[in-house]
Amino acid sequence: MKPLDAFRRHGTLTCPDPVDPPPGRHSLDQARIKAYTELDPSLVRFYTYTAETLPRYMKSGRAGEKALMKLDPNLTGYKQVRDTVQIVVGGKSVTKIRYWGGKYIVDGIRHYFEAKVGYAASAFVHAQVTKDIAQAAAPGARVIEWHFWASGLTGKIGPSLPVLNRLTEAGITVVFHFPGGALS
């Protein structure tokens, strides 16, 4: 069985077998969660998990990347891979480096993965999104996915609404991996 078969794609945020969030650190913005659920289903995926495969809070960004490796058999390593991307800043084309948590090509389609642990909202995240928007418009068929995992330190998960809007408007798929109990 492929690892992905262990998960059921689901349109709701229920978790069948909740576990406790980090004590005292659980901090989910319900308005944000509601906005997540109202997004175009073609751009957003929520996974619910069986008890055996229930995701955990992640202790670091690297842990999120490792979790991605378990989800997608085509991802054979969790090392960062680099690309260059041209973006326009103030009318000037500028070369930037983009490091991806995972990348592969299958059937001529390029797949790029970004794993984020915790809340993602800063100007640096926006700069990363800018690169991905340019990447999405680059030649060739592409699938770009941002996967969000909950932080084991803060209990937080997901992008800010401005980040989310920019991702979805660019056609970038957003995937939420809510740990059990995070939405109770």
The site for other proteins (CB under 8 A) is made up of 59-63, 78-80, 82-84, 86, 88-89, 91-97, 99, 105, 107-109, 117-125, 127, 137-141, 151, 153-154, 156, 160
CA distances in angstroms from 161 to 11, 71, 88, 100, 155, listed in the order given:
19, 26, 24, 22, 18
48/128 with CB nearer other proteins: 128
In the complex, minimum distance from the CB of residue 138 to other proteins, in angstroms, rounded to a whole number: 5
49/119 with CB nearer other proteins: 119
Q: Cα(174)–Cα(88) distance, rounded to whole angstroms?
A: 24
Cβ atoms of residues 153 and 59 within 8 Å: yes
In the complex, minimum distance from the CB of residue 88 to other proteins, in angstroms, rounded to a whole number: 6
Q: Where are the beta strands (DSSP E) in the chain?
A: 7-10, 44-49, 81-89, 92-100, 102-106, 109-117, 119-120, 142-149, 158-159, 173-177
51/88 with CB nearer other proteins: 88
In the complex, minimum distance from the CB of residue 71 to other proteins, in angstroms, rounded to a whole number: 18
9/25 with CB nearer other proteins: 25
In the complex, minimum distance from the CB of residue 154 to other proteins, in angstroms, rounded to a whole number: 5
